[in-house]
């Protein structure tokens, strides 16, 4: 792999470019250098709690970085695109944050968050507003119906300043343990997220690099899409994990500063 050939960089955000409200070392300079060289940075995140417009605002207010909505390909965006293609305006039951629900509805989807008789499918996202009542309603629908069950992303945990907190995969795990129903995940590691980036930018696979901190989502997504990958040791995965995983990255570096130096 020749990094000088790369023009499209698909960055995970949490644990790769930033943790909480702090950019990781070299992240700002790396993004600036890619832009200076005429390249494109897109941000592919399995965080389904926030809309793309929220990320644009957050990048300016928290990180001081100017971005555009088109640069963010979120799990909620991929989920909305998939549900639109498959179900149109039929009734869908969703469990997630209010922001996640509003993002789905912005695509014209008919979303219900209370118990309904006949949803065409059930979709669950990361939910920082999770209540036991929500879990019980979703568990009831999963047992009362036989409709498709989707999760936005399989991540078990996401970084926090003090360590980690439960992510969508952990929430879905509770529902699976209760109901026996397994979700189909729509975000990373499914290839669709990376493929959407190629479709929307016009770059090919050889010009693209997926950069992330998780082997089973970020690196697996790149592998599934046939795109070169770079693991940064800034989040969940460590060197010991490389000894046992089947998701082997093409490149392993310490942090964004190390990737900048390697360009």
Residue 14 assigned ligand-binding role: yes
Instruction: Find the angle CA(123)-CA(125)-CA(127) to the nearest 5 degrees.
Output: 135
67 in Cβ contact with 106 (< 8 Å): no
pLDDT score for 237: 94
Q: What percent of the chain has pLDDT over 70?
A: 100
* CA nearest to 125, candidates 161, 175, 90: 175
CATH architecture of 76-185: 3-Layer(aba) Sandwich (3.40)
What is the arithmetic mean of pLDDT over 71-98?
Answer: 94
- The mean pLDDT value of the chain amounts to 95
In the chain, what is the greatest distance between 2 CA atoms, to the nearest angstrom? Answer: 56
3-46+188-262 and 76-185, same CATH topology: yes
Out of 5, 12, 21, 254, the active site residue is 12
Q: Which of 236, 78, 251 is nearest to 167 (CA)?
A: 236
Mean pLDDT of all residues in 187-203: 93
Query: 3-state class of 203 per DSSP?
Result: coil
What mean pLDDT is predicted for residues 143-169?
Answer: 91
pLDDT tier at 160 (50, 70, 90 boundaries)? confident
Distance CA 228, CA 212 (A): 11
| CATH number 3.40.50.1000 is the correct assignment for the domain at 3-46+188-262 | yes
Residue 157: the pLDDT is 86
How far apart (Å, rounded) are the C-alpha atoms in residues 123 and 134? 12
3-class SS of residue 17: coil
Q: How high is the pLDDT of residue 198? A: 96
| 107, HSE (Cβ side, Cα atoms, 13 Å) | 24
Domain ranges of the chain: 3-46+188-262, 76-185
The answer to whether 85 is a known catalytic residue is no
Q: What is the pLDDT of residues 3-29, one digit of tens each?
A: 999 999 999 998 999 998 999 999 999
Q: Does residue 50 surpass a pLDDT of 80? A: no
Average the pLDDT over each of 46-55, 71-80, 131-140 and give the range with the smallest value. Answer: 46-55
CB 61 within 8 A of CB 183: no
**Do the annotations mark residue 255 as ligand-binding?**
no
The yes-or-no verdict on residue 192 having pLDDT over 80 is yes
Query: What is the number of other CB atoms lying within 10 angstroms of the CB of residue 115?
Result: 13
Rg (CA), the chain: 18
Please tell me the predicted confidence (pLDDT) of residue 51: 80
pLDDT at 159 over 80: no
Q: CA 143 → CA 125, 179, 186, distances in Å?
A: 19, 6, 21
Give the pLDDT band of residue 183 (cuts 50, 70, 90).
Answer: very high
Which residue among 14, 127, 155, 218 is the active-site one? 14
Class of residue 205 by CB neighbours under 10 A (exposed 0-12, middle 13-18, buried 19+): middle
Q: Compute the distance between CA of residue 114 and CA of residue 207 in angstroms, rounded to an integer.
A: 45
| Residue 12 appears among annotated catalytic residues | yes
DSSP line for 186-226: -STTSTHHHHHHHHHH---GGGEEEEES-IIIIIHHHHHHT
CA angle 18, 81, 193 (to 5 degrees): 45
Give first-to-last CA distance, the chain, whole Å.
11
**Is the per-residue pLDDT at 80 higher than 90?**
yes
Tell me the average pLDDT across 158-174. 91
Q: What is the pLDDT of residue 49?
A: 74
**With bands split at pLDDT 50, 70 and 90, how would you rate the model's confidence at 105?**
very high
Query: Was 167 annotated as part of a binding site?
Result: no
pLDDT digits (tens, 9 = 90+) for 209-258: 999 999 999 999 999 999 999 999 999 899 999 999 999 999 999 999 99
**Stretch 163-179: mean pLDDT, rounded?**
96
Q: What is the pTM of this model?
A: 0.83
User: Among candidates 42, 112, 103, which has minimal Cα distance to 76?
Assistant: 103
Q: What is the CB-side half-sphere exposure of residue 206 using CA atoms within 13 A?
A: 2
> Using CA atoms, how far apart are residues 177 and 141, in angstroms rounded to an integer?
15
């Amino acid at each position: 792999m020749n990094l000088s050939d790369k023009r499209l960089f698909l960055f995970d955000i949490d644990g790769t470019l930033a943790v909480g409200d702090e950019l990781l070392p070299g992240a700002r300079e790396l993004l600036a250098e890619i832009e200076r060289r005429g390249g494109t940075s897109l941000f592919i995140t399995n965080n389904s709690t926030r809309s793309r417009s929220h990320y644009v605002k957050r990048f300016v207010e928290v990180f001081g970085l100017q971005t555009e909505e088109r640069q963010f390909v979120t799990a909620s965006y991929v989920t909305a695109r998939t549900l639109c293609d498959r179900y149109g305006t039929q009734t869908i039951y969703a469990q997630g944050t209010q922001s996640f629900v509003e993002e789905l509805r912005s695509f014209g989807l008919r979303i219900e968050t209370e118990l309904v008789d006949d949803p065409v499918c059930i979709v669950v996202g990361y939910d920082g507003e999770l209540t036991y009542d929500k879990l019980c309603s979703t568990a009831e629908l999963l047992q009362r119906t036989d409709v498709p069950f989707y999760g936005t992303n399989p991540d078990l945990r996401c970084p926090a300043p003090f360590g980690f907190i439960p992510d969508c995969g952990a929430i879905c795990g509770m529902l699976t343990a209760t109901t026996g129903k397994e979700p189909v995940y729509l975000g990373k590691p499914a290839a669709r997220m990376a493929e959407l980036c190629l479709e929307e930018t016009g770059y090919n696979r050889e010009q693209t690099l997926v950069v992330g901190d998780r082997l089973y989502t970020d690196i697996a997504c790149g592998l599934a899409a046939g795109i070169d990958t770079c693991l940064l040791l800034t989040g969940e995965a460590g060197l010991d994990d490389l000894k046992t995983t089947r998701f082997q990255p093409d490149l392993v570096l310490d942090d964004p500063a190390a990737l900048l130096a390697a360009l």
